[in-house]
Structure 1
Amino acid sequence: MFTGIVEELGRVRHCRRNGNGYDLSIECQEVLKGTALGDSIAVNGVCLTVTEMDNHGFISGLAPETRKRTNLESLSAGSMVNLERSVTPTTRMGGHFVQGHVDATGEIREFRRDEDALWVSIGAAESLMRYVVVKGYITLDGTSLTVVDVGRDWFSVTLVAYTQAHIIMPSKRVGDTINIEVDVLGKYVERLLQTSEQQYNTDPENKRSPISAEFLKENGYE
């Protein structure tokens, strides 16, 4: 698990075919501290296992399916990536609960300056948008951010000056892909509601759960 607070910008040394998968080699320093073989590091929000290490970086195996479903497919030598080590019992929860399991990729639609802040609009599949709410959390390339606005197939976030200097998003261009992981709490709520509804439909004599979509809406969870 991660918090969505990027610890370091790494540089890709290479991404090479290795049997049925790929070896992704990343040059870095900060995230090597306290890291051992078998530990997890989030690379652009994708949880990867450290399989080799040296004093200047690490290598992780990358499955073809993972590469295809994330923007790791576009990486080449010299590409910059967001890095974060997995949490420990003493890690501060600076962002939110991030699993490192990318739900989908989105497309950057627009950058707009607002004094020192950078406003970014992201296009996403409509099927994903039911998990995206204004002032809710979302993870973009491994960065925990707060949603500013939401549309039918898009949402926006704002980056303060400090964040801009410590993540890769400002270096991207309109049309580039970005890894998206929605807040897992929304998926748990959806699953609980579905299970409750299924149980009621199977045996309507059972007492219906007091938590429903209507109940959540009436109490401010729109």
Structure 2
Amino acid sequence: MFTGLVEEVGAIKSVQSKGEAMVIGIKASTVTQGMKLGDSVAVNGVCLTATHFDGSSFTVDVMPQTFRSTNLSQLRSGSKVNLERAMAADGRFGGHIVQGHVDGVGTITGVRQDQNAVVYEISPAEKSLFKYIIPKGSITIDGISLTVVRTEGHRFSVSIIPHTLAETVLAYKRQGDTINLECDILGKYVEHLLAFGKGNNRGGSDDQSPSPGIDMPFLMKNGFV
């Protein structure tokens, strides 16, 4: 699990591709400190496993499903990437719950200055993600925990302070570029629980017993309202 607080910006050292499978080498200095084989690292918000490392770089494998669902396929030698190690149990929870499981890719449709901040407008490729994107809610963009400023039509916007801009790959992003999106996991759990037992629970097994689900009568009966 991650928090969406980027630890450093790394640089792609090498990319080996065979079909939709990739092996990526990444130059880094902070996230390699204390690294162990098999450690999880969020690369532009994608949870990947360190398969080799030394003091200045590490290597990760990208499987076809990840290739298809993220923008990692666009990485080239020299590309900048946001990096974050998995959260330590004794650390501060400074962002929000980030799994590193990307929901889809978005396109930056606008960038504008707002006094000391920069506002990015983003359009998700999958419009179905909008049910999880709410004003003042949390969203992860290329591994960065951010707050949604507003939603409008099929776009939403986030406001970036100078520190975040300077310490992440957003400084290199321009209109038309793509970013990885991960919506807040809490909304997904609520949706699943509300739909459970109604014949449309996502990923459930066929042998699950029917459930009335959670609705207003249920809440009233059990003293919630």
TM-score, normalised by the number of residues in structure 2: 0.87
Question: SS of 2:47's equivalent?
Answer: strand
Question: SS of 1:95's equivalent?
Answer: coil
Query: What's 2:66 paired with?
Result: 66
Query: What's 1:54 paired with?
Result: 54
- Matched to 2:113, the amino acid is R
Question: SS of 2:22's equivalent?
Answer: strand
- Matched to 1:83, the amino acid is L
Give the unaligned 5+ runs of structure 1. Answer: none
Query: After the TM superposition, which parts of structure 1 deviate over 6 Å for at least 4 consecutive aligned residues?
Result: none
Matches within 5 A, 1:1-222: 1-17=1-17, 21-124=21-124, 125-195=126-196, 208-210=217-219
Q: Say if 1:203 and 1:189 are closer, same or farther in 2 by CA, change over 3 A.
A: closer
Q: How big is the shift at 1:20?
A: 7.1
Q: How big is the shift at 1:203?
A: 7.2
Q: How big is the shift at 1:5?
A: 0.1
- Matched to 1:143, the amino acid is I
Q: How big is the shift at 1:180?
A: 0.2
Distance 2:52 2:34 in 1: 14
Distance 2:153 2:121 in 1: 12
Distance 1:104 1:50 in 2: 23
Say if 2:198 and 2:211, in contact at 8 Å, map to a contact too.
no
Question: SS of 2:132's equivalent?
Answer: coil
Say if 1:126 and 1:152, in contact at 8 Å, map to a contact too.
no
Say if 1:196 and 1:209, in contact at 8 Å, map to a contact too.
no
Report how many aligned residue pairs link the two structures.
210
Deviations 1:90-117 (A, max 9, x none): 1211100000000000000000001110
Say if 2:20 and 2:67, in contact at 8 Å, map to a contact too.
no
Give the unaligned 5+ runs of structure 2. Answer: 201-209
- Matched to 2:43, the amino acid is V
Q: How big is the shift at 1:168?
A: 0.6
**What value does the CA root-mean-square deviation take over the aligned residues?**
2.3
Q: How big is the shift at 1:171?
A: 1.1
